[in-house]
Amino acid sequence: MKDSFVHKGKRKILVEYLREKIGILDENVLQAINEVPRHLFIQSIFEEFAYEDRAFPIAAQQTISHPSTVAEQTEILELKKDEKVLEIGTGCGYQTMVLMKMNALVHTIERQKDLFDYAKNKFRELNCRPKFQSFGDGFAGLPTFAPFDKILVTCGAENLPQELLHQLKIGGKMVIPLGKTDEQILYRFTKISENEIQKEEFGIYKFVPMLGDTKI
């Protein structure tokens, strides 16, 4: 599959939809979505729908998030150039690539080996690699690379993972969906000081669950 003028045209329409209908204001987020060829991250049978606001199945019973969810999560993260970010749940690598296009220093963790390998190949193919890609359990974070300016969790956890909070800088922000498996509330936690956390809510979503211990 190539990135053709048709794909680029569909991406522009998607970006306008995200701006007008979803209300995404951060031009850097919209620009990154405009640059990432989403159709190259999904199975070819879904190619013609790649720029619709839909989620699709990827390997290991996981899903690529809706473009609107990726855009909203990224906007809420308030990501700035050169910030050190940790993503939990690489999946097929689409969201990772959006973060990379925003010139963040991206570290990403995936617990499913199939998806870890898939994303690794994808990054190689598109010649755009994260700072660090890890196969492991996101609950543990990446202590050797901590602290992070931002942490983005792309799967739903029942409770706030304390270890991730530890790995956030003072002033850092973590965006994470929390709740039971059927639906979650998207939160942004800002670490005001070692003992003070500000919590903001951003509505109801449905993410795949954040699962414990790594399956190899």
Closest CA to 139 of 216, 215, 210, 188: 210
DSSP assignment letter at 179: S
CA gyration radius for the chain? 16
Closest CA to 161 of 152, 171, 169: 152
Residue 4 designated active-site: no
Bridge partners of residue 190, in order along the sequence: 173, 198
| Helical packing angle, 27-35 and 94-101, nearest 10° | 120
Most distant CA pair in the chain: distance in Å? 51
Bridge partners of residue 137, in order along the sequence: none
CB atoms within 10 A of CB 167: 21
Q: Please enumerate in sequence order all residues whose Cβ is within 8 A of that of 69, keeping only pairs 6 or more positions apart, or say none.
A: 55, 205
CB closer to ligand SAH out of 107 and 173? 107
Strands 105-110 and 84-88: parallel
Min dist CB 186 to ligand SAH, Å, is 14
Min dist CB 27 to ligand SAH, Å, is 21
Site residues, ligand SAH (CB under 6 A): 60, 62-65, 88-89, 91-92, 94-95, 109-112, 115, 137-139, 154-155, 208, 210-211
Min dist CB 60 to ligand SAH, Å, is 6
Min dist CB 137 to ligand SAH, Å, is 5
CB closer to ligand SAH out of 171 and 212? 212
CB closer to ligand SAH out of 17 and 135? 135
Min dist CB 90 to ligand SAH, Å, is 6
Question: Of the listed 44, 65, 68, 134, which one is catalytic?
Answer: 65
CB closer to ligand SAH out of 105 and 164? 164
CB closer to ligand SAH out of 162 and 195? 162
Q: Please enumerate in sequence order all residues whose Cβ is within 8 A of that of 190, keeping only pairs 6 or more positions apart, or say none.
A: 171, 172, 173, 197, 198, 200
Active site residues: 65
